Amino acid sequence: MDLATIIGLVAGLTTIVVVLVMDGGSPAELFAHPSSILLIIGGSLSATIITSPLKVVLKLPQFIMQAFTTNKFDPKATIELLTNLADKARREGLLALEEDSKKIKDKFLQKGIMMIVDGVEPEQVTAILETTVEQMRARHKQGIGFFAAAGGFAPTFGIIGTVMGLISVLKQLDNPSALGESIAAAFLATLWGLLLSNMIYLPVSGKLKVKSEDEARNRYMQLEGIISIQAGENPRVIRDKLNAFLAPGDIKAAGEPAKAGVGKKAPAGNAQKAKA
Amino acid sequence: MDLATIIGLVAGLTTIVVVLVMDGGSPAELFAHPSSILLIIGGSLSATIITSPLKVVLKLPQFIMQAFTTNKFDPKATIELLTNLADKARREGLLALEEDSKKIKDKFLQKGIMMIVDGVEPEQVTAILETTVEQMRARHKQGIGFFAAAGGFAPTFGIIGTVMGLISVLKQLDNPSALGESIAAAFLATLWGLLLSNMIYLPVSGKLKVKSEDEARNRYMQLEGIISIQAGENPRVIRDKLNAFLAPGDIKAAGEPAKAGVGKKAPAGNAQKAKA
Amino acid sequence: MDLATIIGLVAGLTTIVVVLVMDGGSPAELFAHPSSILLIIGGSLSATIITSPLKVVLKLPQFIMQAFTTNKFDPKATIELLTNLADKARREGLLALEEDSKKIKDKFLQKGIMMIVDGVEPEQVTAILETTVEQMRARHKQGIGFFAAAGGFAPTFGIIGTVMGLISVLKQLDNPSALGESIAAAFLATLWGLLLSNMIYLPVSGKLKVKSEDEARNRYMQLEGIISIQAGENPRVIRDKLNAFLAPGDIKAAGEPAKAGVGKKAPAGNAQKAKA
Amino acid sequence: MDLATIIGLVAGLTTIVVVLVMDGGSPAELFAHPSSILLIIGGSLSATIITSPLKVVLKLPQFIMQAFTTNKFDPKATIELLTNLADKARREGLLALEEDSKKIKDKFLQKGIMMIVDGVEPEQVTAILETTVEQMRARHKQGIGFFAAAGGFAPTFGIIGTVMGLISVLKQLDNPSALGESIAAAFLATLWGLLLSNMIYLPVSGKLKVKSEDEARNRYMQLEGIISIQAGENPRVIRDKLNAFLAPGDIKAAGEPAKAGVGKKAPAGNAQKAKA
Amino acid sequence: MDLATIIGLVAGLTTIVVVLVMDGGSPAELFAHPSSILLIIGGSLSATIITSPLKVVLKLPQFIMQAFTTNKFDPKATIELLTNLADKARREGLLALEEDSKKIKDKFLQKGIMMIVDGVEPEQVTAILETTVEQMRARHKQGIGFFAAAGGFAPTFGIIGTVMGLISVLKQLDNPSALGESIAAAFLATLWGLLLSNMIYLPVSGKLKVKSEDEARNRYMQLEGIISIQAGENPRVIRDKLNAFLAPGDIKAAGEPAKAGVGKKAPAGNAQKAKA
C-alpha cells in the first residue's frame, strides 16, 4: 500500500466533511444534485477516452492500482547484488554468472545478466535495455496523461454544468423563491469538477509520474551496473558508481568493504591506475 | 474504426442529453440560438485557418478520418518478419532479400530493405529513414496543431459571443421580463465554445497525437531492425532488440526459438561472444 | 498571396458581422466607444514595443507582409536541380559546377554551391550554412514573438479597459437609466481585446511560425543536398535522401530514373556497396 | 539565515496588515472564518501528499529549513583550493594529494580528489560525480515540486471554499440582513488560497529552485576542477576555467599569479603549446 | 538609451491618460486609493524577493538600467577586426597578435585572443569561453526571472486587493449610498495589478531577455572567430562564417575583398581545397 496516497485521500475527504459540518451543512448536500455528478464524471471520462488509445482505457484499473501500491525496488540490495556479481565475474569470468542469473527475480536485471553471459556485445546490451526502459516510460506516460487530461477536462465540465444550470435558471425567473436553491444547484457542478480534478485525477496523475520516474531511475542504475560488470570494471568503482544514484544518507559507510573479496581487488585497482 | 473515439463521442453526447433531460430541459434548447453556434464554429475555424498553411486546411477531412480509424500496425508480425529476413540475410547474404522485399506491403519497410539490398551505406540508410519519420511527424504535428489551436480559440469565441450578447442585453434593460431569457441566450455561446473545444477539438487533437507517436514508435522499431539486418547482427539479438519496443506482456516466451533456423545460429552467437 | 490568411480573415470578419446582424444589432455598435479601441491597440502595442528591440519594431510592416504572401519554395524543383548537379559533379568534378552556380537564383543555395566549388572544407560549409539557417530562425522568432506578445497583452488591456469602465460606472450609480448602456460600453473593451488577439495577433503569429518552419525545412533539405554533392555521393541516394523531406504523395515514382545519366551510375552504386 | 526569505516574508506580512488597517479593518478579520483556513491548508496539503512519495512528505521540515538558510558555498575559496591542488599534483604527482584530500571538508570534493588519488579512470570519475549531482538535483526537484504543486492547489481550494460558501448562502436567501456577511465569509476562502499560494508555497518553491541551481553550478565547477587536475592541466588554465563560472566582478585580478609556484609553470605552458 | 523602451513606456502611459480623459475622468482617480497601490507593489515585490537570492535583489537597479540602455555591440566592426587578426595570424603566426590583443577593449574578446597567443589548447579555450557565456546567461536569467515572477504575482495581488475590498464592502451593506464608490475602490486594486504587470514588470522582463540573447549571439560569434583564428583557417572562410550570424541585408557585398591582404590568400584557399 502506498501510504502517502491513502493518507492524502483520507485527510482530504475528512477536511471537506469537517468544513461542511463546521459551516452548518452536511456531506449529503454534495450529492443533492446527481445530474451534476453524472455530467462531470461522464463528460471528463468521455473526452479523455476520445483522446486515448483503447488499450490505455482498458488498463485503467491497473493504473489506479499502481497509484495505491508501493514500488518494490530496494536499491541498496540491488547494489549489493551487482557488486557481488561484479566481484565473481572478475574472479571467474562472465560465464560464471549463468547460475546466479537464474536466481534473480527482477526480470529486467535477469535479462541483462543473461545477455552478458550469452556474450551479446555491449552496445547491443545497452541498446536493448535502454529501449526497454524508454518504452516502459512511454507506456507509463499514457496512464499519467490519461489522468492529467481527465483532470484538465473535469473543471471545464464543471463550468459547462454550471452554465447549463444558470441558463435553465434564467429561463424561469418567474419563481424567485426557488431562485437561490437553483443557482446553488448550478454551482454544485463547478464544485464537483474542481474536487474531482484536484482530489482524484491530478493527484493520481502526479503519483503515477513520481512512480514512473522512480522505476526509471532504478532501471538506469541496474543498466549502469550490468554494463560495468560486462566491461570488467573494479567492483569497488562499480559500487561507487551505483551509490551515486542514492541520497548521501542511504549510502553505506565508505570505509566498509563491499565484501571480503573486494579487499583482494586493490591490486587490480592499481593495475588500472597504471593503465590510466 | 477507432473504438475509443466512437465510444467516447457517443458516451459524451449521451451524458449531455441525459443531464439536460434530468434537469427538466431538452437537447433542442442547445440549438435555440443559432447565431451563437455560427460564431463559435465560424470564429474558431477562421482564426485557425489564418494560423495554418492552406495545405493543412485542405487535408482536414483526412485528419478527421484518421482520428476515427485505427492504425494498421502489427508490431509482433513485423518483428517476426524482420527476424526471418535477418536469418535469411545471414545465411544467404543481403542480396537474397531482393525477392522478399518485393512482397512487403509496408512502403517504409520495403524502401528500407530495398536500400540495404542495393548496398546503400548504413549512415545513408539511417539518414534517409530517420528523415522520413521525422518529416512524417512534422506533417502530423500540423494536423494535431490545427485541432489544438481550434480547441484554444473556441472557448474564447464562446466568451466573445457571451460578451456580445450581454452588451446587447444591457442596452435593452427597459424590458425586464425578457431579461432572463436574453442572458440565458448569451451564456449559450460560452456553453457551445466549451463543448466544442472539450468534446471535439481537443480530444481529436489528442487522439491524432497518440496515433502519430504510435506510428513513430513502429517506424523506429522497423528502422532499428533494418539497420541491424544490414550490420549482419545475430537474429536472436535483433529479436531481443525489437521486443524491447513491446510491453512485457506482448513478448513471446523467451525460451521459444524465433524460428527453427535460429537454433542453428547459436554458434554464431558464440563467435560473436569471442569477438566481444 | 497567402490564400489561407485571406480566407480566414474574410471568413472571420464575415462571421462576426453576420452574427451581429442576426442578433438584431449592427457592426457600427462595435465602434461606438472609440476610447476602448484606442486603449486595446495603444496598450498592447506599447507593452509589446517595450518588450522588443527597436529593430524588430521597425520591421513590423515587413512581418505583416510575410503573413499575407506565400513562401516561394518549390522543393521538387530543388531536388531535381540538386540531383542534376550531383550527377554532373560526379562525372566532371566539383569545379564543373561553377557555371551552374552562377545561374541559381536562390542566394542560400548559390552560396553553398559556390563554397564547395571553392573547395571550402565540408565542416566549414556545414557550419556556415547551419549558422545562416539558425540565425534566420532567430530573426523570424522575434517577429513571431512580437505578435504572440501582443496577442497576450491585448485581452489583458481589454480587461483593464472594462475594469476602468466599471469603476467610472460605479461612481455614478445615481443615474440608473444610463447604467446598462455604460456597463455595455465597459464590456466593449473586453470584446475588442479578445477579437484583436484572436482574429489578428495570435493567428498572424501562428502563420509566421508555420512559414519560418517551412523555410527552415527547405533550407535543411538544400544543406543536406549540398553536403552530399561535396561528399561525392551517388545521385540516386541523394535523391532518396532529399525525397525523404517530402510527403509520400509528393515524391516522383520510385522506378523513374532521376536522369538518363543516373542509370549509368549503377556500377558506382555497386562499387560503393563493396566499400561498405 | 537566508536574508531574502526573511525580508520578503516580513515585508509581505507587514504590507497586508498595513493595508488592512489603512482600509479601516484589522488583521483579526482574516481569521474570522476558521473553516476556510482549514479547507485551504488541509485541501492543498492533502492533494499534494497524494501526488508525492511518502519520503518527500517526511522530509518537508528539512525542505522548509533549506528555504530559510543560506548555501554554504564559497566559490572563490574552492577555486583557490583546486588551483593549489593542481599545482601540487603537477609538481609531485596525483598521489601527493592523498594527505590534502583528508583535510577537505566538502564531502563531494573530497570524494572526487580521493578517486583521482586512487587512480580511478577519468570517465568513471566523471560518471560517478555527474550521477551524484544529477541525483541530487532529482531529489531537490521533489521538494521544489511539492511546494509548486501545493501553490497550484491552494487557489483552487480557495475557489472550492468560496463556491461551497456561496452554495450555502444561496440556500438561505430568506435572511437578507446576514447576506453580505455570509458572502464576505465565502470570499475569505479565495483570499486565503491566494495568499497562502503567493506568499508561502510558490515563493518557497522558487527559493528552493534557486538554491538547487546554485548548488549544481558549484558542483559542476568542482567537477571541472577535479577532472582537470587528473588530466594534469596547467594550473593557470584551470584557474581560468573555474573563474569562468564566476561573475566578472568576483574574479581576482588577471595579472595576479595564482600562487608563487604557478609562475614556474610557464615553461610547462609553452610545452603544452608545442604539443597543441 | 534604448529607444524602444522609452517609446513604449511613454506611448503606454499617454494612452492610459488619454483614455481616462476621453471617458470623462482624470488620471488622479488612479491614485484615489493609495492602500491598493501599496498592496500591489509591496505584495508583488515581497513575494518575488522570497523567491530570489539576495544577490539578485541588490542588483535590481542595475537590471532596470539595462532595460533602458542599448547593447554596445557592433557585429560588423567585430567581424572586420577578427578577419584582420586572422589574416595577420596566418601571415606572422599567433604570437604576432599579442600587441593587437592589448588594444582590444572588449574584455571577452581580449581574453580569448590572449589565450590563443598564450598557446592554451583549443578545447580549453572553447570550454573557458563557453562557460563564461553560459554563466553570463545564467546570471541574466535571474534578473529576467525576477521581473517575470513579479509580473506573475502583481495581478494576483490585484485580485487579493479586490477580494479584500469586496469583503469589507459586503460587511457594510447598510450604507448603500457609498456602495458604488467602495466597489470601485476595490476594483482599483485589480487595475493596478494588471497595469503594473503589463506596462512595467513583464515588458522589462521581455526586454532583458532580448538583450541577453543578443549578447549571447555576439559572444558566440566572437568565440567562433577566436577558435577559427587559432585553427589557422582561411580569413575569407572566417569572414563567411561570421557573416552567417548577420541578417542578409547587414553583410558587406560578397565580391568586396575583406582586406587587400586577403586577396593574396587565395592560393592558401587552393591549398586547402587540395587537402579537402
Nearest chain C CA: its distance from B140 CA (Å): 11
Q: What is the pLDDT of residues A74-109, one digit of tens each?
A: 899 999 999 999 999 999 999 999 999 999 999 999
- Under an 8 A CB cutoff, do D244 and E131 touch? yes
Q: State how far the Cα of D212 lies from the Cα of D143, in Å rounded to an integer.
A: 10
Residue ranges, chain A, pLDDT below 50: 253-276
Indicate whether D69 pLDDT > 80.
Answer: yes
Q: Which chains touch A (3 or more CB pairs under 8 A)?
A: B, D
Instruction: Look at B191 and A164 and tell me if their CB atoms are within 8 Å.
Output: yes
Nearest to A156 among B25, B194, B270 (CB): B194
What is the rounded average pLDDT of the residues E221-229? 96
Query: Is the CB of residue B232 less than 8 Å from the CB of residue A124?
Result: no
Cβ count within 10 A of residue B267: 8
Nearest alpha carbon to residue E66 among E194, E215, E246: E215
Distance of CA C268 to the CA centre of its chain: 40
pLDDT at B217 exceeding the cut of 90:
yes
Distances (CA, A) of C185 to A227, C164, C191, C198: 71, 11, 10, 20
**Residue A72 three-state SS:** coil
Pair C53, E214: CB distance under 8 Å = yes
DSSP three-state, residue B1: coil
Chain D residues with CB under 8 Å of E135 CB are 217, 244-247
Counting CB pairs under 8 A, whether chains D and E reach 3 or more, is: yes
Closest CA to C229 of C104, C54, C95, C102: C95
d(CA C267, CA C247): 30
**In whole angstroms, what is the distance from residue C99 CA to residue C96 CA?**
7
Cell numbers found for residue B149: 489551436
The radius of gyration of chain A's CA atoms, rounded to the nearest angstrom, is 28
Residues whose CB falls within 8 Å of the CB of residue E99, separated by 6 or more in sequence, listed in order: none
Label residue A11 exposed, middle or buried (CB < 10 Å: 0-12, 13-18, 19+). Answer: middle
pLDDT of D272 strictly over 70:
no
Beta carbons within 8 Å of A82's beta carbon, 6+ residues apart? A222, A225, A226, A229, A238, A242
CB contacts, 8 Å: C115 with chain E: 240
Choose among A214, A133, A212: nearest CA to B244. Answer: A133
Kindly report the average pLDDT of chain E as a whole number: 86
**pLDDT one-digit tens code per residue, E27-66:** 888 888 889 999 999 999 999 999 888 888 888 898 888 8
* Cα–Cα dist E227/E126, whole Å: 7
Report pLDDT for B8: 93
Q: Which residues of A are less than 8 Å from B217 in CB distance?
A: 135, 138
Q: Which residues contact B112 (CB under 8 A, 6 or more apart)?
A: B125, B129, B222, B223, B226
Q: Tell me, what's the pLDDT at E236? A: 93
Q: B44: Cβ–Cβ under 8 A, 6 or more apart, which residues?
A: B150, B153, B154, B157, B193, B196, B197, B201
Distances (CA, A) of D110 to D87, D97, D237: 17, 10, 22
d(CA B47, CA D86): 63
**Chains A, D in contact, 3 or more Cβ pairs below 8 Å:** yes
- Give the residue, C13 or B261, on which the prediction is more confident: C13
* Cβ–Cβ < 8 Å for A66, B32: no
* Residue C25 to residue B164: CA distance in whole angstroms: 10
Contacts 24+ apart (CB under 8 A), A73-76: A73/A214, A73/A215, A73/A218, A75/A218, A75/A221, A75/A242, A75/A245, A75/A246, A75/A250, A76/A246, A76/A250, A76/A252
Q: Which three cell numbers, joined as nine digits, stand for A264?
A: 583482494
d(CA B155, CA B158): 5
**HEC-encoded secondary structure of A25-36:** CCHHHHHCCHHH
User: Are the C-beta atoms of residues D142 and D53 closer than 8 Å to each other?
Assistant: yes
C53/chain E closest Cα distance in angstroms: 6
Rounded to whole angstroms, how far apart are CA atoms B93 and B99? 12
CA–CA separation, A38 and A35 (whole Å): 5
Query: How would you write the pLDDT of chain C (276 residues) with one tens digit per residue?
Result: 688 899 999 999 999 999 988 888 888 888 888 899 999 999 999 999 998 888 888 888 989 888 888 877 889 999 999 999 999 999 999 999 999 999 999 999 999 999 999 999 999 999 999 999 999 999 999 999 999 999 999 999 999 999 998 888 887 777 767 778 888 888 999 999 999 999 999 999 999 999 999 999 999 999 999 999 999 999 999 999 999 999 887 776 444 444 433 333 333 333 333 333
The set of cell numbers assigned to D47 is 492533494
pLDDT for the residue numbered C252: 60
Arithmetic mean of pLDDT, D90-105: 92
Q: Residue B65 burial (CB < 10 Å; 0-12/13-18/19+)? A: exposed
Integer Cα distance of E215 and E133 in angstroms: 9
C193-241: pLDDT as tens digits: 999 999 999 999 999 999 999 999 999 999 999 999 999 999 999 999 9
Please tell me which residue of chain E has the smallest CA distance to D24: E168
Residue to test with chain C: of E66, E198, E229, most C Cβ within 10 A: E198
3-class secondary-structure state, position B142: helix
pLDDT for position A1: 67
| Assigned C-alpha cell, C56 | 524588430
When mean pLDDT is compared over A55-69, E114-128, E249-263, the highest value belongs to: E114-128
Q: Please give the pLDDT value at position B252.
A: 60
Classify the complex by whether its ipTM is higher than 0.90, answering yes or no.
no
Q: What is the largest CA-CA distance in chain E?
A: 95
Residue appearing with cell numbers 504590507: D15
List subunits contacting chain B, requiring 3 or more Cβ pairs under 8 Å: A, C
Dihedral Cα D165, D170, D176, D179, nearest 10 deg: 20
pLDDT reported for residue E1 = 67
Q: In this predicted model, what pLDDT tens digit does every residue of B151-192 receive, in sequence order?
A: 999 999 999 999 998 888 887 777 767 778 888 888 999 999
Please choose, from the candidates B192, B155, D148, the residue with its C-alpha nearest in 3D space to the C-alpha of residue A152: B155
C214 vs B53: CB contact, 8 Å cut-off? yes
Concatenated DSSP letters of chain E: --HHHHHHHHHHHHHHHHHHHHTT--GGGGGS-HHHHHHHHHHHHHHHHHHS-HHHHHTHHHHHHHHHS-----HHHHHHHHHHHHHHHHHH-GGGHHHHHHH---HHHHHHHHHHHTT--HHHHHHHHHHHHHHHHHHHHHHHHHHHHHHHHHHHHHHHHHHHHHHHHHTTTT-GGGHHHHHHHHHHHHHHHHHIIIIIIHHHHHHHHHHHHHHHHHHHHHHHHHHHHHTT--HHHHHHHHHTTS-GGGSPPTTS-SSHHHHTTHHHHHHHHHH-
Which one of A51, A132, A139 has the shortest CB-CB distance to B206?
Answer: A51
Helices (H), chain A: 3-22, 34-51, 54-58, 60-68, 75-92, 97-103, 107-117, 122-170, 179-195, 202-230, 235-243, 260-263, 266-275
Q: Quick check: E244 and C128 CB within 8 A? A: yes
Distance CA A184, CA E201 (A): 39
B115 contact residues in C (CB cutoff 8 A): 240
A52 to B248: CB separation less than 8 angstroms, yes or no:
no
Contact list, E156 vs chain D (CB under 8 Å): 194, 197-198
